[in-house]
Amino acid sequence: MTAYIIRRLLYMIPIVVGVLLITFVLFTVIGGDISQQIAGKNADAETVAEIRAEYGFDKPYFKVEMAPVRESFKEDGFKAGMKSFFEGSQFLRHFKNAVTFNFGRAMDRQKISEKILQGVGPSLSLTVPMFIASLIITISLALAVAFLRGTAWDFGTVVLCVILMSVPYLSFIIFGQYIFAYKLDLFPIYYNPTEPMSFSVILPILIGIVASLGPGLRFYRTVMLDEIRSDYVRTAFAKGLTARVVLFKHVLKNAMIPIVTNVVMSLPRLVLGSLLLERFFGIPGLGYLMVESIAGRDFFVLNAMTFMMALLIVIFTLLTDICYAWVDPRVKFE
């Protein structure tokens, strides 16, 4: 078991390095030098040069110039030497920043870590209730539909799912905001810092639930149907158990594995928030930060967020795998 965990942990390393490589290629190699942008419209060459040096754009991508590094080791000791080594090339710098979670400052000079930490709370207060509510709704509906399979109700639900899935997400938000906040004035239209956050997130949560109903319900319906067709359900019915008992004691319990897997793997995404909902309703979460960084081409923030999200997903995948290994001895440890 321990060996398995260690192996899985080691397996994380190439993935993390891979993510670092991708973000590096994306934001540094393709994205290019954005020091002119940071410096502003009328910045002179020296200011730009200063910014290039600060963000390390003046260094080569990979190859490190070793001579000054050796000198630094000799003259200023080990610590300074290591520092100058890691500052030697853009990739090493990128690597060091990510591993030490020190992403430096965004284009507006605020600390990126501070930005991200500030955004987590609002994002979660939007996505967590949304996620839990839609989970409860979809699972109970799926259970009901699975029980009524083959009837008009089932068919109707499937059609509804497909219809909901086909409407563009953006339309849900724009129409929802227009009708319920502008026209009917039932909900606040934009996040108001003087009111509790829960007040402002009601409408986005409702919109989010409706928009996620389609795909969610379809998925859980398939899961439930799989279970309902198994032999043990037939046996249970044959034993004369009531439908309620069969549904809740057998079907739901057995469907738990795919459900839990799905839930656990959605958790890291909750942190990210909802890009569009946050933007439209002014909720200052990570999704909002993301949209803003895209508009401002702030590659530093995008880079940090991409890395943090990938890391979260890697960790959650690891946790799920370990959980399975722990509860099911038959998982192959290889």
Partner 1 sequence: MSNSTPTTKTAPKPIKGRSLWSDAIRRLRKRRFAMVCFFIVMLYFVLAGVIFVDEQLKESFGEKGYQGIPAFRWKESVGPSYAPPVWKSLWSEEPGQFTWTPEDSDTEETGWTSFGTDFLGQSTWRKTLYGAKTSITVAVCASFISLLIGVPLGAIAGYYRGKTDDIIVWLYTTLATIPYLILLMAFALVLKGKTVFGIPLRGATAVYLAMGLTSWVGICRLIRGEVIKRKESEYVLAARAMGCSDMRIIFFHLLPNVFHIIIINFSLRFVGFIQAEVILSFLGLGETDKPSWGGMIDAARTELARDVWWEMTAATLAVFFISLALNIFGDALRDCLDPKLRVD
Partner 2 sequence: MTTSNNFNRTGFLQKHSGWGLLLAMCLMVCLPAGCAKKDVPTEDEGMVLRRCMLSKLRTLDPCDMRDVYSMSVGAEMYESLYRYHALKRPYEITPLLADGLPEISDDNLTYTIRIKKGVRFQDDPCFPDGKGRELTARDFVYAIKRIANVKTKSRNWASFKDKIIGLDNFRDYTKTFKGTKEWDVDYSREIEGFKALDNHTLQIKLIKPWPQIIDAALTDTMTSPIPHEAIDYYKEDIIQHPVGTGPFRLKAWRRGCYVELVRNENWRGELYPSEGSPGDREAGLLEDAGKPIPFADRVVWRVIQETQPAWLLFMRGEFDSMGIFKDNFDGTINVQTHELNDEMIGRGVALKKFNDPSVFWIGFNMKDPVLGKNKPLRKAICRAYNRERYIDLFNNGRGHVAHGFVAPGLDSYDADIHKYDYSKYDPQEARELLKEAEEVHGGPIPPLTLSMPGTDTFNRQSGQYAQRLFSKVGLELNVEYMDWPTYLDKMVNGDLQLFFSGVSAGYPDAIDFLKMFVTKYHAPNGGNAFFYSNSEIDALHDKAEVMLPSEERLELYRKMERMILDDYPAVFISHRVSYALAHGWYENYKPHVYSYGLNKYRKVDEVQRSGYKERLKELKEKK
Applying CB under 8 A, which of residues 201, 277, 286, 301 lies at the interface with partner 2? 201
User: Phi and psi for 105 in degrees, rounded to 5?
Assistant: -110, 150
Applying CB under 8 A, which of residues 82, 137, 165, 189 lies at the interface with partner 2? 189
Q: Residue 111 carries which DSSP code?
A: B
Q: Does the protein bind partner 1 through residue 8 (CB under 8 A)?
A: no
Helices marked H in 108-201 — which ranges?
112-147, 152-166, 169-176, 197-200
Candidate segments 51-59, 113-121, 138-146, 159-167, binder of partner 1 by CB under 8 A = 159-167
Judge contact between 113 and 120, C-beta under 8 A.
no
Binding to partner 1 (CB under 8 A): which residues in 110-139? none
For residue 266, the one-letter residue type is S
Applying CB under 8 A, which of residues 2, 3, 10, 193 lies at the interface with partner 2? 193
292 interface partner picked from partner 1, partner 2, none, CB below 5 to 8 A per type:
partner 2
- Percent helix, strand, coil in the chain, to 5, is 75, 0, 25
Q: 12 forms bridges with which residues in the sheet?
A: none
User: What contacts 196, CB < 8 A, 6 or more positions away?
Assistant: none
The nearer residue to partner 1, 51 or 276, going by C-beta atoms, is: 276
Applying CB under 8 A, which of residues 82, 241, 311, 321 lies at the interface with partner 2? 321
Say how far apart CA 132 and CA 134 lie, in whole Å.
6
CA distances for 163 relative to 130, 156, 158, 224, 316, angstroms: 20, 10, 9, 21, 32
Binding to partner 1 (CB under 8 A): which residues in 255-274? 258, 261-262, 269, 272
Applying CB under 8 A, which of residues 66, 117, 163, 186 lies at the interface with partner 1? 163
Structure tokens at 128: 């967590």
The nearer residue to partner 1, 49 or 309, going by C-beta atoms, is: 309
Binding to partner 1 (CB under 8 A): which residues in 53-82? none
Kindly state the smallest distance separating residue 213's Cβ from partner 1, in Å: 15
Q: Does the protein bind partner 2 through residue 264 (CB under 8 A)?
A: yes
Q: Measure CA of the first residue to CA of the last residue in the chain; give whole Å.
A: 11
Binding site for partner 1 (CB under 8 A): 14-15, 18-19, 21-22, 26-27, 30-31, 162-163, 165-171, 174-175, 178, 182, 219, 222-223, 225-226, 258, 261-262, 269, 272, 275-276, 290-291, 294-295, 297, 299, 302, 305-306, 309-310, 313-314, 317
